[in-house]
Amino acid sequence: MKFSFRPWLVAAFAVLSASALFAQPSGGPYGPLPQTYEVPKDAKRVYFVAPEGKADAAGTLEAPATLEAALAKVVTGDAIILRGGTYRTGGLFLNQGITIQPYKDEQPVIKGTLVADKWESLRDGVWRAKWSTLFPQKPADWWRRNREGMRTPLHKFNNDMVFVDGKPLASKGWEGELDADSYAVDYEGGYVFIKFDPTGRTIEITAFDGFLTRTTREVHGKQSDRKGYTMRGLTITQYAYRALEVEGTEPQKLDDPANFGKEVVGTTIEHTTITHCSRVAGYFRGDRTTFRHCLISDTSTEGVYLIDSADCLLEKNIFTRNNIEQITGYYPSAVKIFNQSYRVVCRDNLIIDNPHSNGLWYDVGNVDGVFINNWVENCLDGFFWEISKNVIVAGNVFKNCQNGIRILNSSGAKVYHNTFFNAPASFQRDTRSAQGDHFGWHPSTGPDVHERHSHVFTGNLMLADARFTAPLLRADQHPALKDRLKEPAFDAVDFNVYARPAAPAPAGNAKGAEDMNTALIQNLSAALIAWSPGAGETNQFMLMAPAELTAKLSRFEKNSVLLPLAPNAVVQSPELRNYQPARALPVKAPLPAEVAKLLGWPAQDGYVPGAYQN
């Protein structure tokens, strides 16, 4: 078996060299860690700010300024140091490369809400407050009401949020639907309604649709220096629409990457929490953007939205609870990497608890991605690579996802040594092209219909308990392509280990059993592999074992095996999320030296299938 690699791997190594490599998901720590920050010694000027600061103050430790005043004054190389406490502010702009961080170990919290303390009692237990900053919003013009209007009420698209004692309330369409956990808005009259006594409660309502925009335009009398800021140690929460935005050019066609991503370079966000934003945590544009040890949670359509950017790194973050409103028809993802982003590396992140959202999605036109050593659990599509070229997916764990990975209308996806548990690997080709597409130019940025091939799927460990009966590997192709695409989408499929229980449990143990590893049902009737191009109207083979694929196409799965075993007979403890091998597996898989180096694995002749090596 021969693998070919491109020089872009050298660039990936350069991005990865900034910190230690890991042999599999590290187990943490993930997300923000307690820090004690020193004032940057190389800062040209330091501005201290505080919630009670004065706009005309000097910005010293003894006389702190306001955050708004400091942002208006800073120039390249300055630092803003935030004292602890709650800042209620928004609509701020910056165009200089500065540092923003806490003072020592203090904990600044930046909020986009104001406290509502004037309420009027109405009938039936309903109360209302007059509110001037409301954020009505309609669905995007591409949202299909004829398909989704019966599933998602239109009021969910509005961007207002209400919190009671820190707890978010759910939106409702009118006062008659209210309960103690919801709110409604009269946009014509300018009122917010709740159905509980507000006495003694802290009720916060959104007042700003964003915290900070790093603009490319002139602001505060200064031209942009094209440098991204460094942000550390903040908590940013409760914003209508988004907390942060970094502006930049967005090509509306396939374009030369020299023409975008250069207006703001080097944005770095570390040990920062961004949560409870009505749409997204932030939109980020610009090469060499870095997210490290951040928590992004409780967002709606997306958490982090990275656009048209190259040589970026996402490392040791937690991305969780996206699409908390369960909006349908909006294709949500906890992380979206969009439109001709090159060499974006996602390494050792925790992407969990997104049951109504995809996990991490490279969406259209992306090139040379790297997705390694991540833990992905309870998502729709855990890792989604769409209309894009060349990605390495290696050393990850995918658990309880609709699809662990989904490779759609793409080319050159190399998938090595991942562990899948109740999370299929899906490779799909359909008829979508640049002609007449619902999203216009999107398909033109990636491989055309006849170019969607050259995938590799080797050295993977595919586990399923007895209740999971879907195929573990899917190669799907639209039946309309049967006469057009007659060759498989793969260069190689081999050296994989599949394991799922095959024997039924005793009849007395089947009913009400709770052990997911017990053979509660007979799995022999469920296909292991769905493969296209195949036969018949569906253009697909449903295969019960890797040997059946070998019998049809001798170059595939010759060295793969199916073990009739429950997961806890193969790995140490699925219950405790320990996926180290519990037995010697009968397969050793080759791995290109470049990928082994990327994973930090020692050079050797063969490796244990899956993310974990003995």
Give the domain CATH number at 89.
2.160.20
Q: Which segment of 22-31, 297-306, 422-431, 477-486 scores lowest on mean pLDDT?
A: 22-31
Of the candidates 380, 414, 415, 375, which has an alpha carbon nearest to the alpha carbon of residue 398? Answer: 375
Task: Dump the DSSP string for 98-123.
Answer: -EEEESBT--EEEESEEE----EE-G
The residue with tokens 């057009």 is 484
- Asked whether residue 344 is assigned to any structural domain, the reply reads no
Are 152 and 258 part of one and the same domain?
no
Q: What is d(CA 499, CA 563) in angstroms, rounded to the nearest whole number?
A: 5
Q: Six-digit token pair at 158?
A: 């509005």
Residue 307 CB coordination number (10 Å): 23
Please check whether residue 351 lies inside any domain of the structure: no
The reply to whether 100 and 202 lie within a common domain is no
pLDDT tens per residue, range 515-542: 333 333 334 458 999 999 998 889 999 9
| Residue 221 counted as domain residue | yes
The CA-atom distances, in angstroms, between 364 and each of 312, 323, 338, 411 are: 17, 21, 6, 12
461, 569: one domain:
yes
Query: What is the per-residue pLDDT for 199?
Result: 98
Predicted confidence band of residue 508 (pLDDT cuts 50, 70, 90): very low
Same domain? 194 vs 227: no
Nearest to 524 by CA among 550, 546, 547, 501: 501
Q: What is the per-residue pLDDT for 614?
A: 75
11-20, 64-73, 113-122: lowest mean pLDDT where? 11-20
Domain match, 399 and 487 both: yes
Residues 98 and 155 in one domain: no
Domains of the chain: total: 3
What would you report as the CA-atom Rg of the chain, rounded to the nearest whole angstrom? 26
The burial class, CB within 10 Å (0-12 / 13-18 / 19+), for 235 is middle
Spatial separation of the C-alpha atoms in residues 153 and 613, rounded to whole Å: 48
Range with lowest mean pLDDT among 207-216, 249-258, 380-389, 555-564: 249-258
The CATH number assigned to the domain holding 126 equals 2.60.40.1180
At which of 293, 315, 337 does a domain end?
315
Chain CA centroid to CA 549, Å: 33
Tell me: do 54 and 134 sit in the same domain.
no
Per the domain annotation, does 376 fall within a domain? no
Q: Whole domain around residue 84: which residue ranges?
A: 43-112+208-315
Predicted local confidence at residue 289, as pLDDT: 99
Are 264 and 182 within one domain? no
What proportion of the chain, given as a percentage, has pLDDT over 70?
Answer: 92
Of 148, 174, 206, at which residue does a domain stop?
A: 206
Q: How far apart are CA 83 and CA 176, in angstroms?
A: 44
Give the tens place of pLDDT for each residue, 306-336: 999 999 999 999 999 999 999 999 999 999 9
Pick the more confident residue, 16 or 260: 260
Q: How far apart are CA 551 and CA 187, in angstroms?
A: 65
Does residue 121 sit in the same domain as residue 93?
Answer: no
Instruction: Please tell me whether residues 185 and 82 are part of one structural domain.
Output: no
Name the pairing type of β-strands 162-164 and 167-168: antiparallel
Quote the CA–CA distance of 432 and 436 in Å, as a whole number. Answer: 9
User: Does residue 237 lie within any of the structural domains?
Assistant: yes
- Tell me if 141 is assigned to some domain: yes
Torsion angle of the four alpha carbons 225, 228, 233, 239, in this order, in degrees rounded to the nearest 10: 100
Average pLDDT in the 552-563 region? 98
Average pLDDT over residues 99-105: 99
**∠ CA 550-555-560 to the nearest 5 degrees?**
55
In tens, the pLDDT along 76-87 reads 999 999 999 999
Q: Is residue 533 part of a domain?
A: yes
Cα separation, 540 vs 432, in Å, equals 19
Whether the bond into 168 is cis, omega within 30 of 0: no
In degrees and rounded to multiples of 5, residue 480 shows phi and psi of: -65, -15
Report, as an integer, the average pLDDT of 589-593. 97
d(CA 565, CA 586): 13
78 plus 15 within the same structural domain: no
Q: How many CB atoms lie within 10 A of CB 237?
A: 25
- Does 329 map to a domain? no
Q: How far apart are CA 605 and CA 594, in angstroms?
A: 14
Average pLDDT over residues 340-355: 99
Kindly state the DSSP code that residue 53 receives in the 8-state scheme: E
Check whether residue 436 and residue 565 sit in a common domain. yes
Domain-ending residue, one of 288, 315, 342: 315
Q: In one letter, which amino acid is 223? A: Q
Pinpoint the alpha helices (H) of 179-324: none
